[in-house]
């Protein structure tokens, strides 16, 4: 079975001039998805599909194929159905995977996961989507919420799937069959169709100038060039932000803090617990990189941290031993060994060890996360 990647890159663009050639992180926009395609282990061939000769140059420099699209399929009136059909009828393939330059953050790994899903489920069409977890309305009727009920937290809403379009896949013979029957095949026609969920930055789709500005910010963030967020500080100093983990833990009564042994390739949790003992509180950082932080925190019943929240980062914990009381937005939850707790940014919480023995939790977040306290708690 021959699987061909096809990257459509029209020269003209009405909403963002020369969009596919505009530089994003010092590379033309089209180059980002092209590089991701080249990193795929499952694509047999890759084609850059365009009417513009400048894209032939980019394809040549990237050591991939160039397909010269007919001029009548390069106008605003030409549909996705039209130029995909033209490509399938011109290039030998069993499956065509369309990769849009306007989704520059899709990875090689996602491309291969997409192809694997299509092959394993023997699909005729696979459509990339994004989960939208917010109240949605269609023709003035609510879809995933009830108008006469209280608004639930957004994380409890049923996700609605919207087209992401960054990756689309079609079985070539079924695409042609649908075009002959319906003059349309993009949405799957009467073939076997499924959906592939893109997440995070991979859902970014550049359609207008504002989208491009967003993509530039995302690119800067990925490369660690974005400055750390700053926040309004109350004139009355009601709120205090602190990101120094050692100082924060000391303030929580955890005076034994080991950070020097972080980032080992393999660690044994049981060895760390035996080393630090179970008679007094301690913490031991096992990971402390620019993108991740993981710290074991052990406290005796009655001990805990101070009420706080994180304005810009989520946090989660795994309970290795004992029992904890998690006070989240003023409500207590008893959490026991083997459970995982997730707290979204902005949610106030406090953790207290309970039960009759030392409690140990693994806290996972980032090394530079602000802990925001009110003045009384700090």
Residue 231 pLDDT class (50, 70, 90 cuts): low
Per the listing, tokens 């109240």 go with 135
* Largest pairwise CA distance in the chain: 78
Q: Which long-range contacts (CB under 8 A, 24 or more apart) does 296-299 make?
A: 296/269, 296/272, 296/320, 296/360, 296/361, 296/362, 296/363, 297/249, 297/254, 297/360, 297/361, 297/362, 297/363, 298/273, 298/358, 298/359, 298/360, 299/253, 299/254, 299/353, 299/358, 299/359
| Of 158, 157, 155, the residue nearest 347 (C-alpha) | 155
Supply the mean pLDDT for the chain.
91
Tally the residues of the chain: 378
Start-to-end CA span in the chain (Å): 63
Q: By the 8 A CB rule, do 322 and 359 touch?
A: yes
Q: What is the pLDDT of residues 287-296, one digit of tens each?
A: 988 778 899 9
Q: Is the pLDDT of residue 141 over 70?
A: yes
Looking at residue 244, what is its pLDDT? 83
Residue 71 pLDDT class (50, 70, 90 cuts): confident
Task: Please give the average per-residue pLDDT across 89-101, as a whole number.
Answer: 97
CA distance 61 to 79: 28
Quote the DSSP letter at residue 152: P
Looking at residue 240, what is its pLDDT? 80
Q: Output the pTM of the full model.
A: 0.63
Q: What is the pLDDT of residues 296-326, one digit of tens each?
A: 999 999 999 999 999 888 999 999 999 999 9
The structural domains of the chain, ordered by start, are 3-222 (3.90.550.10), 239-374 (2.60.120.10)
Read off φ and ψ for residue 301, nearest 5 degrees.
-50, 130
47 versus 19: which is more confidently predicted? Answer: 47
Task: Please give the average per-residue pLDDT across 106-130, as a whole number.
Answer: 97
């Amino acid at each position: 079975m021959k699987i061909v990647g096809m990257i459509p890159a029209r020269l003209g663009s009405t909403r963002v001039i020369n969009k596919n050639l505009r530089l994003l992180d010092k590379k033309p926009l089209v180059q980002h998805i092209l590089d991701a395609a080249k990193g795929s282990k499952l694509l047999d061939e890759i084609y850059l599909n365009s009417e513009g000769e400048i894209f032939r140059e980019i394809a040549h420099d990237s050591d991939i194929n160039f397909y010269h699209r007919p001029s009548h399929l390069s106008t605003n009136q030409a549909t996705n159905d039209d130029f995909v059909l033209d490509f399938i009828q011109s290039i030998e393939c069993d499956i065509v995977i369309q990769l849009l330059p306007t989704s520059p953050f899709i990875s090689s790994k996602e491309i291969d996961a997409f192809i694997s899903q299509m092959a394993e489920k023997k699909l005729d069409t696979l459509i990339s989507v994004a989960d939208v977890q917010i109240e949605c309305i269609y023709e003035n009727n609510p879809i995933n919420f009830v108008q006469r009920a209280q608004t639930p937290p957004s994380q409890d809403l049923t996700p609605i799937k919207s087209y992401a379009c960054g990756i689309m896949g079609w079985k070539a013979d079924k695409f042609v069959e649908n075009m002959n029957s319906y003059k349309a095949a993009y949405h799957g026609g009467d073939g076997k169709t499924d959906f592939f969920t893109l997440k995070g930055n991979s859902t970014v789709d550049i359609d207008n100038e504002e989208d491009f500005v967003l993509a530039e910010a995302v690119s800067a963030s990925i490369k660690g060039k974005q400055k750390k967020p700053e926040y309004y500080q109350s004139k009355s100093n009601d709120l205090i932000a602190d990101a120094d983990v050692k100082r924060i833990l000391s303030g929580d009564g955890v005076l034994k803090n080991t950070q020097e042994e972080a980032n080992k390739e393999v660690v044994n949790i049981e060895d760390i617990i035996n080393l630090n003992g179970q008679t007094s509180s301690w913490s031991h950082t096992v990971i402390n990189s620019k993108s991740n932080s993981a710290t074991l925190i052990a406290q005796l019943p009655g001990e805990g941290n101070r009420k706080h929240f994180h304005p810009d980062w989520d946090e989660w914990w795994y309970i290795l031993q004992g029992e904890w009381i998690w006070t989240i937005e003023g409500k207590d939850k008893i959490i026991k060994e083997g459970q995982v707790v997730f707290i979204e940014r902005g949610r106030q919480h406090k953790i207290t060890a309970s039960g009759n023995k030392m409690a140990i939790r693994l806290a996972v977040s980032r090394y530079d996360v602000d802990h925001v306290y009110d003045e009384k708690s700090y």
